[in-house]
Chains A and B, each alone.
Chain A
């Protein structure tokens, strides 16, 4: 079945460092891909998404590009801030024609940014 694999955390970075959180997926066809963020004590919020190959999702300085050839959707940010400290989840939805399934989530990657 469909699955998402994320790099394990925790990831600890200094402020202004470059961030990459790896995400790869297994799915048939062309799923939509998502990154969610969970700040301490809160629920998950959609951070960005991409619905087709080579699309780039971006929001709040974060970016991720849908790479069909490598089945990847890595999250990047050029300069992290303390306020980016959170847990990040990669997720996918079933490809077109198979929409009657919930999102599939990775296990999450905890990011801590220190000043």
Chain B
């Protein structure tokens, strides 16, 4: 089973709808991240969380919110989706306490806003 899972994998929604993307991990990592990927723009950080009580905005947090329900779960919400939020969204985790700073990524959620 995958260590970092994302649901749904694909979603088509209409402008103005509220949508939630979910991320779960079995790695036991404290740190979790949400990124979006757009062609030619690489990965851009939306929000990140260093533990359940520590949530931080990334470079493109406007229009998004997050909830860290537990160490293993980190959800991303679009309160009122708009077409330019059409993108591929990735969740990631990391555990610097083991002396390594790499991040582990989920398979992504492809979101289309019409």
Contact = CB atoms under 8 A, between A and B. Distances in A.
A36 B101 CA distance: 13
Nearest to A94: B101
A45 interface: yes
Interface in B1-45: 4, 33, 40-43, 45
A93 B101 contact: yes
B83 interface: no
A102 B105 contact: no
The 5 tightest CB contacts between A and B, nearest first, are: A107-B42, A43-B105, A93-B101, A44-B105, A105-B43
A100 interface: yes
Interface of A: 32, 34, 36, 42-46, 49, 89, 93, 99-100, 102-103, 105-108
Q: How large is the interface on B (under 10, 10 to 19, 20 to 34, 35 or more residues)?
A: 20 to 34
A103 B101 contact: yes
Contacts of B108: 42-43
A43 B90 contact: yes
Contact of A43 (B33, B48, B106): B106
B63 interface: no
Contacts of B50: 100
Nearest to B99: A51
B45 A102 contact: yes
Contacts, number: 46
Contacts of A103: 94, 101-103
Contact of B42 (A46, A49, A106): A106
B90 A102 contact: no
Nearest to A8: B40
A41 B48 CA distance: 23
Contacts of B41: 107
Nearest to A4: B42
B108 to A, nearest CB: 5
A45 B2 CA distance: 12
B58 A102 contact: yes
Contact of A46 (B4, B33, B40, B102): B102
Given A43-B107, A44-B90, A99 B101 contact: yes
Given A43-B107, A44-B92, A46-B102, 19 more contacts: A42-B107, A42-B108, A43-B4, A43-B90, A44-B43, A44-B90, A44-B105, A45-B105, A89-B42, A93-B101, A93-B102, A102-B48, A102-B94, A102-B103, A103-B102, A105-B43, A106-B42, A107-B42, A108-B42
